[in-house]
Structure 1
Amino acid sequence: MPQHPAPVTVSIEPPRQPEVERLLDGSTAFAESLYPPESNFLLDIATLERPEVSLYVARDGGRAVGIAALVADASAARGELKRMFVDSDARGRGVAAALLERIEADASARGLIEIVLETGDLHDAAQALYTRHGYREIPQFGQYVGEAHSVCFAKPLAAEEQAFPPAQNVR
């Protein structure tokens, strides 16, 4: 009987591990290759360790192949997606989608009603990914306002159609 590879798993993990630090370094190098320093808004390891931040690690066969962080803002009932990155040799295999699905499920379970994010204007693949997963482009927010390279997106986690059934005509 042929063996099928294990599916990608996603879990919350600490950032201070060699495999995760390798992905963070790859993310930083990629961003720095495209944008000037003032246009990069990357969270450092100390920030990723804060209580309001959850770092998600995607693993394929035990090997870390992708990361993303969710920064929860409980007062606004929303979270910001940060540091989304997939190893170049794991792209095109659903790793980013698995990260998004897990983060969205966890955020919804925590009572967050929206996820927002910022990506760069040269990140065409990232913009396409977010659009495919129901994110819509929004005006720049927070520290990204006025940033020439920033493109911002948002996704509501509980659509009105899901929360309330369609109205019925009653006579």
Structure 2
Amino acid sequence: MMADSDRVYADLYPVEENHLLDPAALIDPDITFLVARCDGVVAGFGALAIRRDENAAYGELKRMYVAPSLRGIGLGRRLLQALEDRARADGMALLRLETGNRQPEAIGLYRAAGFTERGPFGPYAESEHSLYMEKRL
């Protein structure tokens, strides 16, 4: 499924604008990777990366993806909630994310969950394809 998500993003955005978390990074102790299953089959996933800047630590959402055949049943919302819960448990007061502007469903999910737009953060630069968002927890 991760390879499927990579192909989707490669079809939507130039390679230099795909800011995907490398699968090898998922074993890093600062990464939480959650998997959603339906009837025992992987249906989606998402990651929370603990990041630090000059002010404090924050959580960055990465690799949010739900199988196209299983969208619309609330898996993305439940994954997002579980990642937010983990961030709170880890003492994070802020979540940030970068998403592509050609993903209206993802943008709608994040807005409905209380994320608001902001400028680039961390390693990101201004981009015609990216939308940057954050949420105070």
- Where on the TM-score scale, by shorter chain, does this alignment land: which range? over 0.9
Within a 5 Å distance, the mapping from 1:85-104 to structure 2 comes to: 85-104=65-84
2:2 paired residue among 24, 29, 54: 24
- 1:74 to partner: Cα distance: 5.6
Aligned to 2:47: 69
**Structure 1: unaligned runs, 5 residues or longer:** 1-22, 158-171
Aligned to 2:111: 131
Where do 4+ consecutive residues of structure 1 move more than 2 Å?
73-77
Aligned to 1:110: 90
2:21 paired residue among 17, 33, 43: 43
- 1:89 to partner: Cα distance: 0.6
Q: Secondary structure of 1:117's partner?
A: strand
TM-score, length-scaled by structure 2: 0.94
- 1:113 to partner: Cα distance: 0.5
Deviations 1:22-47 (A, max 9, x none): x2111100100011100101111111
Report if the CA contact (8 A) 1:74-1:112 is conserved: no
Deviations 1:81-138 (A, max 9, x none): 0000000011000000010111111110110001100000111111111000110011
Report if the CA contact (8 A) 1:115-1:156 is conserved: yes
Percentage of matched positions with identical amino acids: 39
* Distance in 2, Cα, partners of 1:140 & 1:105: 24
Letter in 2 for 1:68: G
* Distance in 2, Cα, partners of 1:74 & 1:152: 17
Q: How many residues align?
A: 135
* Distance in 1, Cα, partners of 2:130 & 2:52: 24
- Greater share of strand residues, 1 or 2? 2
* Distance in 2, Cα, partners of 1:146 & 1:131: 20
Q: Secondary structure of 2:123's partner?
A: helix
Report if the CA contact (8 A) 2:119-2:126 is conserved: no
What is the root-mean-square deviation in Å for CA atoms of aligned residues?
Answer: 1.2
* Distance in 1, Cα, partners of 2:84 & 2:24: 23
* Distance in 2, Cα, partners of 1:74 & 1:38: 23
Q: Secondary structure of 1:127's partner?
A: helix
TM-score, length-scaled by structure 1: 0.76
